[in-house]
Structure 1
């Protein structure tokens, strides 16, 4: 049976505003341990460490060409998909889902249709700092994150106060439900048990949608045995075995169908799995390349060159965009709202945050 090896980078739980780790990502590679061991020996014949670790290798400049060659080799010869997220943007998407969308839903409007939620999150990302002031926007986002975690009326009202302390009328479609009305539906959604700003579910839902397309038949997932990936393990296991038939279009390059081809998920020690070690290298390079492209941090290699080696289907972005026409075009006919309702009906015990 085909096995995808998965590793992640940048996971910080519910705390998405982390200046040191602004990006989160995950990579899945369909490769066996024998092939992985062969590739490691070919590209790093003098490796002395007990396992291939990207963060260790990237400290040495003489490793750069070998890392990039390995990265290109995997993309060229194996099924592989990498997902990259701007965590600040993800938090804004969640703000729209809980602090804005319930107001629209009550009035019969679908905020998820044709990528509207992604467009509004991009507007908040780019226009929020100049229109509201970065300090005001940060206070709103921190208050939202705290309110979701604490679930108390006091935390909810602190969020309302943070919105009202800003010039929220500059962005009424986004901030109006809380700033103008302190919308009870929105505050209730934020306080719902299980609702979280942990992005593991969002990341894996997107990754699975692409693995399902790449897999020729039933497949399994193997990932590192780490505290960070424990939440990923819980998410993956909840999907396995659901038999209701349904398909949901998400964009012109992504859809998800149930029942999944995924049959099992297991955790291993990365020291015992050369294939998982390769997933670690792939996501490490991608995260650093994104940091270099956005000028967040300097990198020793050319980010443009790194991203040019990916095929369209090998890379998923969850980052803001200014191409609103292109966003609407690629998400026309999206069934994101229907997928949310489906998950809420069938997986509410595992994902209380998916309930309407």
Structure 2
């Protein structure tokens, strides 16, 4: 067997489980396929002949982006790393909106959750909730903050505006309003089925963190299928260190396996040479290169990207991982009008059952059939009027 490929990971925009902070709205996680020797050579090329001289002992995007030649440095890195990096970016508020379905609705629907994922209810909820909370300080901000608090403690008492009918969604936030009706009606089920998360303090502390899911995506549906075996080096990360042992099951695992993600299944592969290693960038040149790419991605996919960096966007786009979370491609942005109408019908139906304390799943497949027939007939009538 050939030597394992070294894949190094670093992030930009890390705020842990605080996804609603407005000062860093985007999270970026980058992976580079690079040997230590090649990384040192690239760092020397970056430093060579610079005026003013780069004084810092290690290269970090947070420092270099203040320089006038940052676009030139970033362009050099991308050109030298062409085809040898990948990255994932996430709009944090959109990622948070996706968690609303996962931790408020799925605990109630988990016995038949694949039905709802297949039809896209999670996408409808994520997209609509995102639009309700996209602006920091907006009408739904208090609800969002209490939802975030609940997803850290899993104690409904910490979120009275969500569970105790003490707060209402804004008038134009129809989906969020139905989600609140659902959560209030099924609050005891949600509490009971998230109890294990509440009792696992270490897990609950990082349940909103995006690092572990980004690492998993880049490995099992990225560099894992590309190489026979990987050696993984991550920048020091408390969330990852807390769950690193879960990756030990991939050590020496050579076969492909199905990876279920919402409404799709992909073929994945990951064969690790050993446990995930952690290090600091000043000791590991490959981490410095990953940091530069992550920092650049956070700038270009964030708010108000600098005009001087725009020529580099196309290079980054080619390496953007498909599991990115951005408003133009995630949430309900890819759903048809019929899919949205049908899922809204089902959401209202579920909220109505919640208010009555009824079984949320009995006959729900037939409800979906009715919803799509109804949505399709409405769509046909609208088309006939044109």
How would you bin the TM-score normalised by the shorter chain? 0.7 to 0.9
- Alignment map for 1:107-126 (pairs within 5 Å): 110-113=115-118, 115-126=120-131
Normalised TM-score (structure 2): 0.71
Once residues 119 and 161 of structure 1 are traced to their aligned partners in structure 2, the CA distance between those partners, rounded to angstroms, is: 24
- Secondary structure of the residue aligned to 1:14 is coil
In the TM superposition, residue 312 of structure 1 has moved relative to its aligned partner by: 4.4
Q: Contact 1:163–1:178 (CA<8 Å) still a contact in 2?
A: no
Q: Which of these residues, 81, 94, 98, is aligned with residue 93 of structure 1?
A: 98
Q: Which of these residues, 15, 19, 24, is aligned with residue 21 of structure 1?
A: 24
Q: Contact 1:129–1:137 (CA<8 Å) still a contact in 2?
A: no
Q: Contact 2:27–2:89 (CA<8 Å) still a contact in 1?
A: yes
Provide Cα deviations, 1:238-269, integer angstroms capped at 9, x if missing partner: 122256973125489983536x3123311223
- Alignment map for 1:132-211 (pairs within 5 Å): 135-161=138-164, 164-167=167-170, 170-171=174-175, 173-179=178-184, 181-191=185-195, 192-193=197-198, 194=200, 195=204, 196-211=207-222
- Describe the shift of the 1:198–1:328 C-alpha distance in structure 2 as closer, same or farther (beyond 3 A): same
Which consecutive unaligned segments of at least 5 residues does structure 2 have?
337-386
Once residues 117 and 264 of structure 2 are traced to their aligned partners in structure 1, the CA distance between those partners, rounded to angstroms, is: 17
- Describe the shift of the 1:152–1:241 C-alpha distance in structure 2 as closer, same or farther (beyond 3 A): closer
Q: Which of these residues, 275, 287, 290, is aligned with residue 279 of structure 1?
A: 290
In the TM superposition, residue 308 of structure 1 has moved relative to its aligned partner by: 0.8
Q: State yes or no: 1:310 paired with 2:320.
A: no
Once residues 208 and 165 of structure 2 are traced to their aligned partners in structure 1, the CA distance between those partners, rounded to angstroms, is: 18
Q: State yes or no: 1:72 paired with 2:44.
A: no
Q: State yes or no: 1:238 paired with 2:246.
A: yes
Alignment partner, residue 327 of structure 1? 334
- Secondary structure of the residue aligned to 2:258 is strand
Aligned length: 316
Larger Rg: 2
Q: Which of these residues, 260, 263, 267, is aligned with residue 273 of structure 2?
A: 263
Q: Contact 1:53–1:280 (CA<8 Å) still a contact in 2?
A: yes
Alignment partner, residue 5 of structure 1? 8
Q: Contact 2:12–2:29 (CA<8 Å) still a contact in 1?
A: yes
In the TM superposition, residue 34 of structure 1 has moved relative to its aligned partner by: 0.9
Provide Cα deviations, 1:125-178, integer angstroms capped at 9, x if missing partner: 125679xx9644211111111123234342143432467422578225533312
Once residues 179 and 300 of structure 2 are traced to their aligned partners in structure 1, the CA distance between those partners, rounded to angstroms, is: 31
In the TM superposition, residue 302 of structure 1 has moved relative to its aligned partner by: 3.5
In the TM superposition, residue 15 of structure 1 has moved relative to its aligned partner by: 1.2
- Describe the shift of the 1:326–1:167 C-alpha distance in structure 2 as closer, same or farther (beyond 3 A): closer
Q: Contact 1:9–1:26 (CA<8 Å) still a contact in 2?
A: yes
Once residues 114 and 233 of structure 2 are traced to their aligned partners in structure 1, the CA distance between those partners, rounded to angstroms, is: 40
Once residues 56 and 134 of structure 2 are traced to their aligned partners in structure 1, the CA distance between those partners, rounded to angstroms, is: 45
Alignment partner, residue 308 of structure 2? 301
Q: Contact 1:209–1:254 (CA<8 Å) still a contact in 2?
A: no
Q: State yes or no: 1:81 paired with 2:86.
A: yes
- Describe the shift of the 1:57–1:135 C-alpha distance in structure 2 as closer, same or farther (beyond 3 A): closer
- Describe the shift of the 1:5–1:323 C-alpha distance in structure 2 as closer, same or farther (beyond 3 A): closer
Once residues 17 and 134 of structure 2 are traced to their aligned partners in structure 1, the CA distance between those partners, rounded to angstroms, is: 22
In the TM superposition, residue 32 of structure 1 has moved relative to its aligned partner by: 0.6
Alignment partner, residue 55 of structure 1? 62
Alignment partner, residue 353 of structure 1? none
Normalised TM-score (structure 1): 0.76
